[in-house]
Amino acid sequence: MSLDWIAAELAAWDNAGLRRARRVTRPLAAGMIEVNGRPLLNLAANDYLCLAGDARLAAAAREAIAEAGIGSRASALVSGRTVWHAELERRLAAFEHAEAAVLFPTGYAANVGTITALVDREDSVFCDRLNHASLIDGCRLSGARWHVIPHLDLGALEVELEKARGRRRRLIVIDSVFSMDGDVADLPALVELAERFDAMLLIDEAHATGVLGPGGRGLAEHFGATSSRLVRVGTLSKALGCLGGFVVGSQTLIDWLWNKARPQIFSTALPPAVAAAGCAALEVVEQEPERRSRLRTLSETLRARLTDAGLAVPETSLPTPIVPVVLGDEGRTLAAAARLEQAGFLVAAIRPPTVPAGSSRLRISLHCDVTDEQLDRLAGLLAAFASPQAAT
C-alpha cells in the first residue's frame, strides 16, 4: 500500500480543526517566550517553578559539560551511568525519603517501563480513564488484563478489583495530578483499596513533584502516604526544569526495574549535564519553598476569578498549577487561544484526541513568576470573551 491515504486523513483533520501545527519558539526570562518574534507570557509550559532558565542549573550543567562533554555515550546499563547520574539517583532517593531511585530518559519511558516490568498477561491492571497517555500505553503494552475505570470512581475500582481477585498480580495505575483537568487523586482511599485487595499502586507524580507537599515531594507527601505497595514515578522535565523520568522506592523494587524495565535498559542514558542540573534543581526546591507557595496562591486566585465569571473550570480538592477552561467546541477554543495570543498570553488550546470529544479547553499552566497584574489581566480577558455570556 502507498502512503497516499495520509494526505486525505490530514485534510479531514484540517476540516475538523484537529490538525496540529509546529512552530519555533525562544524561551525568555521571567516566564516569557518569543513566538514569531513577539514576546508572550508563557502559560503553555510545565516549568511551574521557573527553573528551566535558572542560572544555578545552567552553571551545574556547564561544569559537567566541561568535564564529560555532551552525550552519555551509552545506555546506563552498559557504560552511560556516570558519577552525575549516580549522584542524581542518590539525591532523588534522599529527596523522596526512599531507599533508592532509578533514572529513565523521559517520564513517558518511566511509566511504560515500570508498568510493563510489574505486570504481564497473567495479571490485571486498573487504569483511570483520564490517565496520561504514557500510563495508558504502559497498560496496553504490558499485556495484562486491562480494566478502564471511570475518572476517580473509587466504587467502580472496588468492583473491578473484586472481580480480579483470582489474577496473579493486580496493579492500580493513576496520575496524582491529572494533566488536562488539574484535579488530584484520592491517594489515602486508593492506598486503602490496594491494601484490602492485595494490589500494587503506581502513582505518577509528574505534575506534583516540586509543587505539592510541604517539601515539594508531591501528593504522597501531602497525604503522608508511605505504603510498601506504593510505586512512585516522577519527572525532572516539569517543575524541576530539566529532562528525564525516575522511580523511587525500595532497593528491591529499583533492582527489579534496573534488570527488567526495557525503556531504561535499551535507551541511551541522560546527558551528564542534565543529571548535574537535576541535582541543582532539587537544591532549589528544598531551599526556596516560596516558589510553590506563590504557585498555590496564583492557582487559588485564578480559579476563584474564573469560576465567579461563570467559566467551566473542573473542580479540584487541591489548587494545582493546571487551570483548564472547558469551552467544548474546537473552533471556539482555537479562536479564544488566538485572541489571548494577540493580547500577549500563550495558552494551549487542547482538543481531541488529547481530551474527549466535546471537552476542548484552554489549558492554563501557571508558573511562579506570573505577576498579580498579569493574572488580573488574564482573568479579565477570559471573562470578556470565553464566558458563556460572551459566547451568546
Q: From the first residue on, what is the mean pLDDT of each consecutive set of 10 residues in the chain (392 residues)?
A: 91 85 91 95 98 98 98 96 98 98 98 98 98 97 97 98 97 97 97 98 98 97 95 98 98 98 97 98 98 97 95 93 94 93 96 90 97 97 77 52
Of the candidates 85, 147, 207, 222, the residue annotated as catalytic is: 207
The residue from 287, 319, 353 where one domain ends is 287
| 338-387 per-position pLDDT tens digit | 999 999 999 999 999 889 999 999 999 999 999 999 999 999 999 987 76
Residues 178 and 266 in one domain: yes
Of the candidates 85, 132, 222, 238, the residue annotated as catalytic is: 238
The residue from 243, 267, 287 where one domain ends is 287
pTM: 0.95
Residues 244 and 107 in one domain: yes
The partner residues of 324 in beta bridges, in order of sequence, read 363
CATH of the domain at 239: 3.40.640.10
Residues 252 and 157 in one domain: yes
Would you say residue 366 lies in a domain? yes
Residues 243 and 313 in one domain: no
Helices 107-118 and 133-142 pack at an angle, to 10 degrees, of: 30
Tell me what pLDDT residue 1 has: 83
Would you say residue 30 lies in a domain? yes
Residues 94 and 196 in one domain: yes
Tell the residue number behind the cell numbers 525568555, with chain if given.
28
35, 23 Cβ separation under 8 angstroms: yes
Residue 190: all three cell numbers together: 486508593
Percentage of the chain exceeding pLDDT 90: 91
Would you say residue 2 lies in a domain? no
SS3 track for 96-131: CCCCEEEEECCHHHHHHHHHHHHCCCCCEEEEECCC
Pair type for strands 360-365 and 322-328? antiparallel
Residue 260 bears catalytic tag: no
Tell me what pLDDT residue 17 has: 76
Residues 121 and 174 in one domain: yes
Tell me what pLDDT residue 391 has: 55
The structural domain count of the chain equals 2
The DSSP H or E segment spanning 203 is strand 200-204
Residues 28 and 156 in one domain: no
Tell me what pLDDT residue 20 has: 81
144, 124 Cβ separation under 8 angstroms: yes
Residues 164 and 102 in one domain: yes
The residue from 218, 253, 287 where one domain ends is 287
Residue 219's Cβ-side half-sphere holds a number of Cα atoms within 13 Å equal to: 31
DSSP per-residue codes, 355-374: S-TT-EEEEEE--TT--HHH
Tell me what pLDDT residue 80 has: 96
Tell me what pLDDT residue 390 has: 59
Would you say residue 4 lies in a domain? no
Tell me the residue range of the domain where 224 lies.
55-287
Residues 96 and 155 in one domain: yes
Residues 328 and 207 in one domain: no
Residues 109 and 154 in one domain: yes
Of residues 219, 153, 155, the one with CA closest to residue 182: 219
Tell me what pLDDT residue 52 has: 98
Residue 237 bears catalytic tag: no
Of the candidates 124, 176, 179, 237, the residue annotated as catalytic is: 179
Residues 204 and 233 in one domain: yes
